[in-house]
Chain A
């Protein structure tokens, strides 16, 4: 009497496990894809920021800023070397 019932229960459970596994793997796939996109985005942002830093520190720009602020090379006689 219980045998067919248990068989049905077992089949339903197996199907459920299979579907759950499929669903979970899909969720993980989405998550991993999103993380990969996020990682690529952060990498790209990092590259952009590195470029910005280098552009700001470009010698030509620094030279212009120094000129605007009337910064001059110190005269050698005025430099005091401390041992």
Chain B
């Protein structure tokens, strides 16, 4: 009996011993894994489940004056293969082919020893979703924001371009790159055994995304301008054509076109096409510059509106050079008549009364040979010889717009100063830049368009007199083709000879035809400049090349903006 009891105890003890041993072994293993191998395992697991993710923010949108989208970024996908994971290559090929993605390689081994083979770029989300549903192994997707321009070629030179990483290279994309780019942030994600992702923290994308930029450009006026300018550009097979529409009151640009242009979404092969001729190209303005001469002379009171000038019967010799008038006037003509008929000789005589120093001072006052300060890259300051180096021919030639280099922007800004009763303003294309507040909500920085006045160039009286002269020029003089039904127009034509690079003298074949004008003439709502460089064919004069384009753009813009018709007599007459 006692023996049996000892046996029982021994069996019990043995069982407990075994269980304890198992537990001890497990405990020992636990200690080994948790304490001794702790660091190594943690590092391995960390590598397997923890990933650092760079959150690329969405680039801000570029909007027009009415908040229509001109440029935006869309999430697109790069589809890649991991040949090491693919099991059924034929099925992968079929599924991808069904979704419009073709793989050139016939065998899986053709890819070589790699885990990343990109096979399709810029794929839309709906296609990616279809492929994902097939649950194929060895197919991956990388997201990327791609810049899109829904309006195509419209505003190409102003919007500019971005590189493949989304950095602005030209235009607004470049100037506002910092605001548009947003903040790149690093986030941590965890991936479980099934590949499911758990984010370490939630990212409010609206806080990281780039700020929207609102332009002063109105896409409808831009479209009208582009359409009309393209017609003349193609008709006259011109080398270049530029048109700017500006609001003279605050200097904001309503439209700016440079031709030839490009599509922002296309690959740019010739980078010279990116050059925005409206602000970067310097040209001799010709007769459109005459308002500077007349305004300076009137402002300094060197001449009066009632003064008359003998116009030398169309030929005037100065420093062994003969200056000619295209529209010959016999005898004398008033200051206004000289402008109406675009008399070069009349301008020379006014400039001689004004003197070189005064004239130079007013040229600079009007903003020539200085940067206008527009918020676009690549602006030129123009060409102008220092007044101390002027020779006997400089004053006469500059008085009618030859021998001086200006940009289209400077000319329209000078006309806008006259339209704005003598006050020069800083031109701008950016209206507002969106700001994000602490809650990630958008608010606008509204002070960009404010206080853009640079200086007073001439008095209100002088500006008023110039506007009247410009009105007469369209009604009675060389600018008749710029007339529009129902509105009074003030403006000036300019047909400038270009310098032939071969002979380094003024060419008799190459001209720059331009027209700059304002509507309505005495209280302008907008100013338009049209410049056509080297129009081909027999009619190269501004009156037949540039003025009609101005008229079409001005009429359509005035109607679009709902500007009240001010030329009642003309409207009634036409309706009769």
Which residue of chain A has its CB nearest to the CB of B202?
A: A36
- A77 CA / B485 CA spacing, docked (Å): 12
Which positions 151-203 of chain B face chain A at CB distance < 8 Å? 151-154, 196-199, 202-203
The residue from B58, B125, B150 contacting A45, defined by CB atoms under 8 A apart: B125
How many whole Å from B251's CB to the nearest CB in chain A? 25
Contact B75 A44 (CB under 8 A): yes
Partner of A44, one of B68, B125, B199, B220: B125
| A51 close to B485 (CB less than 8 A) | no
B227 within 8 Å of A (CB atoms): yes
The yes or no answer to A59 lying at the interface (CB within 8 A) is yes
Which of B150, B196, B203 is A51 in contact with, Cβ under 8 Å?
B150
Q: Which residue of A lies closest to B124 (CB)?
A: A48
B153 partner, pick from A26, A43, A48, A60, beta carbons under 8 A:
A60
Task: Using CB atoms, name the residue of chain B closest to A26.
Answer: B198
Smallest CB-CB separation from B575: which chain A residue? Answer: A77
Whether B151 contacts A51 by the Cβ 8 Å rule is no
1/0 per residue, CB under 8 A from B, across A24-46: the answer is 00100110110011001101110
A63 contacts partner chain B, Cβ-Cβ < 8 Å? yes
Enumerate B206-222 residues with CB–CB distance to A below 8 Å. 219-220
Chain A residues near B21 (CB-CB < 8 A): none
The answer to whether A29 and B198 touch across the interface, beta carbons within 8 angstroms, is: yes
Chain B: residues with CB nearer than 8 A to chain A?
A: 58, 68-69, 72-75, 124-125, 148, 150-154, 196-199, 202-203, 205, 219-220, 223, 227, 485, 575
Tell whether A36 pairs with B199 under 8 Å between CB atoms, given A41-B125, A45-B125, A60-B223.
Answer: yes
Q: Mark A42-83, 1 if CB is under 8 A from B, else 0.
A: 011101101100110111100100000000000011000000
When distances are taken between beta carbons in the complex, the residues of chain A under 8 Å from B203 are 36
Q: Which chain B residues border A45 with CB–CB below 8 Å? A: 125
Interchain residue pairs with CB less than 8 A apart (28): A26-B198, A30-B198, A32-B199, A33-B197, A33-B198, A36-B199, A43-B205, A44-B74, A47-B72, A50-B72, A51-B69, A51-B74, A51-B148, A54-B68, A54-B151, A55-B150, A57-B68, A59-B151, A59-B154, A59-B219, A59-B223, A60-B151, A60-B152, A60-B153, A60-B223, A63-B223, A76-B485, A77-B575
Instruction: Kindly list chain A residues whose C-beta atoms are within 8 Å of the C-beta of B223.
Output: 59-60, 63
Contacts of A30 in B (CB 8 A): 196, 198
CA distance A78 to B205 in the complex (A): 53
Evaluate whether A47 and B75 lie within 8 angstroms (CB atoms) in the complex, with A59-B219, A76-B485 already known: yes
Q: Which A residues fall within an 8 A CB radius of B? A: 26, 29-30, 32-33, 36-37, 40-41, 43-45, 47-48, 50-51, 54-55, 57-60, 63, 76-77
- Nearest-CB distance from B129 to chain A (Å)? 9
Name B's interface SS.
mixed
Query: Which one, A48, A55, A63, contacts B125 given CB within 8 A?
Result: A48
Out of A26, A60, A76, which one reaches B154, CB within 8 Å? A60
Q: A33-B197, A50-B69 are in contact. List 20 more A-B contacts (CB 8 A).
A: A30-B196, A32-B199, A36-B203, A41-B125, A48-B124, A48-B125, A51-B72, A51-B148, A51-B150, A54-B72, A58-B151, A59-B151, A59-B219, A60-B151, A60-B152, A60-B153, A60-B154, A63-B223, A63-B227, A77-B575
Q: Taking the nearest CB of chain B, how far is it from the CB of A10, in angstroms?
A: 21
Chain B nearest CB: distance from A79 CB in Å?
11
Closest chain B CB from A72 CB (angstroms): 14
Contact assessment for B150 and A58 in the assembled complex, using a CB-CB cutoff below 8 Å: yes
State A63–B224 Cα separation when bound (angstroms). 11
Contact A33 B69 (CB under 8 A): no
Give B68's nearest chain A residue, CB to CB.
Answer: A54
Give the distance in Å from the alpha carbon of A76 to the alpha carbon of B570 in the complex: 14
Question: Nearest-CB distance from A82 to chain B (Å)?
Answer: 16
Q: Tell me the complex Cα distance, A40–B203, Å.
A: 10
Q: Known contacts A48-B74, A48-B125, A76-B485: does B202 contact A32 (CB below 8 Å)? A: yes
Contacts of A58 in B (CB 8 A): 150-152, 154
Nearest-neighbour CB distance to chain A for B505, whole angstroms, equals 43
Q: In the complex, which residue of chain B has the Cβ closest to the Cβ of A28? A: B198
What 5 A-B pairs have minimum CB-CB distances, sorted nearest first? A54-B150, A59-B223, A44-B75, A55-B150, A29-B198
Question: Complex: how many Å from CA A36 to CA B125?
Answer: 16
Q: Which residue of A lies closest to B73 (CB)?
A: A47
In the complex, the chain B residue whose C-beta lies closest to that of A32 is: B202
In the complex, A44 Cα to B126 Cα: how many Å? 11
Closest CB of chain A to B88's CB: distance in Å? Answer: 27
Q: How far is the CA of A50 from the CA of B73 in the complex (A)?
A: 11
CB of A40 within 8 A of CB of B152, answer no
Q: How far is the CA of A51 from the CA of B150 in the complex (A)?
A: 7
Q: Which B residues are in CB contact (< 8 Å) with A44?
A: 74-75, 125
A57 / chain B contacts, CB cutoff of 8 Å: 68
